[in-house]
Amino acid sequence: MVELDSRLHIVVATYNGARWIEKCLDSILNSSVKTKTWIIDNNSEDETVQLIKNHPLRPELVVMKTNLGFGKANNIGVSRALNDGAEIVFLLNQDAYLYSDTLQKMVEFHSSDSSFGILSPIHLDGMGDKLDYNFGRYYTDFRASSSLMTDALRRQLKSVYRLPFVNAAAWFIPRQTFEKIGGFDPLFSHYGEDDNFCQRLHFHGMQLGLVTDCFIRHDRGERDHTKPKLFSELELKVFERKLKVRYADPSNPAFPEKYDEEMSNFLKWSNRNRIKMNSHSAKGYKLKADIMKSLYQAIRDSRSKTSSAGAHYLDI
């Protein structure tokens, strides 16, 4: 019988993931490091839960009665893992797949340098033959790490690079990180949770490291990056998400002064367009002002909580 590494637990949040979940679980089963796996299912409406139950990995499965979203589901999984004795939690997306040596290399690097609050492997696409589209944007962002791009082109990569952000598809997180900054902020219901987590990580003096000799495959394909039409439902959702990411950052000194100024400007532009008989723009700017007004207290509360150290949003 293969012995589990009790220090490391994997957490996967699922929702309608039948397309990917068997490959995800296969990759965990075939990992050279054997771990306990927690799956928090967000009330999937497809075959996800049955596929998990039938899989030989036999993970710990928790099925929620409603869709809690990515952040809250992961918080439940992380809490269960930590309460079960985990010293490291590896967050893995339902559409991401490990290589057999991914966890082994992450554990080995962490054993040699435990100074990082988050470690991430390199994200390849679903086929594993090129960088994941979004990950490629972080990797080639010269402002984020000029030495990373330069070293890659010169084929002189170091073992690790400090980056401001990598998405949470495959995060290797020591217990101490959760104890210092907590889990995902429930202010973010869908998207933006990992941006905020990284902001809080840096605010509390911790670093994110990209480990360059290990990989995952992220099987999500290229997304539509077409700019949404101004004041459309999608554009307003993007506006709300960006608003939260920008102002819930505890290191951003622009709240509340700049926030109030921005909200006031939207009201002014709404009134100006109403006078000009441009009802579409008048309504759109008013909607943005209303969104800002409705989020004001929640953002203030978030900043107040996350600016202090503690295992916020986790039940540990």
Q: What is the pTM of this model?
A: 0.95
**Under DSSP, is residue 61 helix (H, G, I), strand (E, B) or coil?**
strand
- C-alpha–C-alpha distance, residues 8 and 80, integer Å: 13
Give me the pLDDT at residue 20, please: 98
Residues whose CB falls within 8 Å of the CB of residue 142, separated by 6 or more in sequence, listed in order: 149
pLDDT at 1: 38
CA dihedral angle for residue 7, residue 118, residue 181, residue 174, rounded to 10 degrees: 10
Rounded CA-CA distance 73/314 in Å is 11
CATH of 8-218, one of 3.40.50.300, 3.90.550.10, 3.10.450.630, 3.90.1150.10: 3.90.550.10
So what's the pLDDT on residue 152? 85
Determine the 3-state secondary structure of 123 from DSSP.
strand
**Which stretches of 92-249 are DSSP H helices?**
102-112, 133-139, 146-153, 175-181, 193-203, 233-247
Ranges of residues in the chain with a pLDDT under 50 are: 1
Domain ranges within the chain, ordered by starting residue: 8-218, 233-306
